[in-house]
Amino acid sequence: MDHKNKKNIIDLKELMIGYRTQHTRTSFAYGPINLSIRSGDMIALIGRNGIGKSSLLRTIAQLQNPLGGNVRLFGKESDRYGRRELAQIISFVSTEIVSIQNLKVYDLISLGRAPYTNWLGKLMDHDHSGIQSALDKVKIPHLGAKFMHQLSDGERQKVMIARALAQDTPVIILDEPTAFLDLPSRYEVLRLLNELSIREGKTILFSTHDLDIAIHEADIIWLMISEGITEGAPEDLLFKKQFHKLFLNSCLEYDQQSDGFRLQKGSQKSIGLKGTEESVHFTGKALRRIGFQVDGTNKGIGRIEIVSEGGKIVWILDTGAEKQVFQSIYELTDYLKYNCK
């Protein structure tokens, strides 16, 4: 797509988000935010708990009023749209799990057609085909006749995404779509969103705590910290070491070697490691986990060599004083943990 032709679909102008409650006199405010979303972008909103990610998403989706500034959709202030009009532009997937007795998946997804159907909600043929194609796009065509309470959390989240697809909006906003899901389902859901943004040209904005997955699947990351939102491609932010801001006062850091985030351990001892590429990868991972810095050379407390002895792989630890042989990574780390403090 021509870079210049991509239009701004959403503009946040001096947007202040938050809430005020007179009752408890608590208030929360964040901003001002000046950002734009272009058509077809897939944006991951990342920030720590309580920073206001949900408030931001809900404010953009017009589920919550801004404290100041405004949100513009296609250049027009969003509060100048009617409810129904708005429901045809932005669909929302919340963290709420909809589990209603006797509610069929098909019927739930059909509610996505509500902004288009008549006063009785009668589904026409094109509504039915919209629902069917939404089921197909999230790859759950077999679940249509099932009841919501029969599904797993992962399937349920896909149904909620299908419902948003049935709503047929250019923009889909999702609040923590990967919460409550197991690891494979998290990958699957974000993979799915990525496909939707590429194939269907959907503009997708979602919040998540799954940094590792987000940096692999999102086009753009909005890094929300108390000083403001930093925007950029995941690689830009990694390159400029922006994620450190997120992890201030915490032990997380990005590990280039393993392309992921991991906990930083207190004191670092170094150890040498040698072997095949695969064996070094996994052994190194385990050693880093228990607080060692891994090096190719013989350094620090000693050196580990991974060798194949008659088809069997063993780990030989040479501390200079003595040599020890281990049959598994577990045995090795277990020994190091208690003997090399």
Partner 1 sequence: MKQIHPGKGPHTSLLIIFLLAIAAFLFMLDLVTGPVEIPFRLVFTTLLHPGSVDPVWKQVMFDFRIPKALTAVVAGSALAVSGLQMQTVFRNPLAGPDVLGISSGAGLGVALVVLGFGRIFSGGEMLYISGWIQIAAAWAGAAVVLFLVMAVSLRVRDIMTILILGILFGSAVSAVVSILQYFSEQAMLKTYVIWTMGSLGSLTNVQLNVLLVSIVTGFIISVLSLKRMNILLTGETYARSLGLNQKSSRILIFLSTSILTGSVTAFCGPIGFVGIAVPHLARLLFRSADHKVLFPGSILLGAIMLLISDLVSQMPPQDTHLPVNAVTALLGIPIVMWIIFKNQRLVSVS
Would you say the C-alpha torsion 330, 335, 337, 340 has a positive or negative sign? Answer: negative
Tell me if 207 contacts partner 1 by CB under 8 A: no
Describe the chain by its helix, strand, coil percentages, rounded to 5: 35, 30, 35
d(C-alpha 70, C-alpha 241), whole Å: 31
Tell me if 179 contacts partner 1 by CB under 8 A: no
Specify which residues 309 forms β-bridges with.
Answer: 312
Q: Determine the Cα angle at 95 with ends 93 and 101, to 5°.
A: 90
d(C-alpha 28, C-alpha 46), whole Å: 18
Cβ proximity to partner 1, 173 vs 213, nearer residue: 173
The phi and psi torsions of 338 (rounded to 5 degrees) equal: -100, -15
d(C-alpha 108, C-alpha 115), whole Å: 14
Least distance CB 92 / partner 1 (angstroms): 4
Contacting residue, 6, 77, 98, 233, with partner 1 by CB under 8 A: 98
Q: How many Cα atoms sit within 13 Å of 283 on the Cβ side? A: 30
Stretch that binds partner 1, among 26-34, 121-129, 209-217, 229-237 (CB under 8 A): 121-129
Tell me if 115 contacts partner 1 by CB under 8 A: yes
Tell me if 19 contacts partner 1 by CB under 8 A: no
Cβ–Cβ under 8 Å, residues 183 and 210: no
The owner of tokens 């909005």 is: 222
Stretch that binds partner 1, among 35-43, 100-108, 197-205, 249-257 (CB under 8 A): 100-108
Tell me if 294 contacts partner 1 by CB under 8 A: no
Q: Decide: helix, strand or coil at residue 300.
A: strand
Least distance CB 80 / partner 1 (angstroms): 15
Give Rg (Cα) of the chain: 25
Tell me if 84 contacts partner 1 by CB under 8 A: yes
Tell me if 103 contacts partner 1 by CB under 8 A: yes
Name the amino acid, one letter, at 227.
Answer: E
Tell me if 104 contacts partner 1 by CB under 8 A: yes
Tell me if 112 contacts partner 1 by CB under 8 A: yes
Tell me if 63 contacts partner 1 by CB under 8 A: yes
Least distance CB 66 / partner 1 (angstroms): 15
Dihedral over alpha carbons 260, 190, 9, 85 (to 10 degrees): -150
Least distance CB 96 / partner 1 (angstroms): 6
Cβ–Cβ under 8 Å, residues 280 and 306: yes
Tell me if 120 contacts partner 1 by CB under 8 A: yes
Contacting residue, 3, 4, 25, 83, with partner 1 by CB under 8 A: 83
Tell me if 106 contacts partner 1 by CB under 8 A: yes
Tell me if 26 contacts partner 1 by CB under 8 A: no
Contacting residue, 30, 92, 222, 326, with partner 1 by CB under 8 A: 92
Tell me if 287 contacts partner 1 by CB under 8 A: no
Specify which residues 71 forms β-bridges with.
Answer: 12
Q: How many CB atoms lie within 10 A of CB 236?
A: 13
The count of residues interacting with partner 1 (CB under 8 A) is 41
Tell me if 293 contacts partner 1 by CB under 8 A: no
Tell me if 167 contacts partner 1 by CB under 8 A: yes
- Positions in the binding site for partner 1 (CB under 8 A): 58, 61-63, 82-88, 90-92, 94, 96, 98-108, 111-112, 114-115, 117, 119-121, 123, 125, 128, 144-145, 167
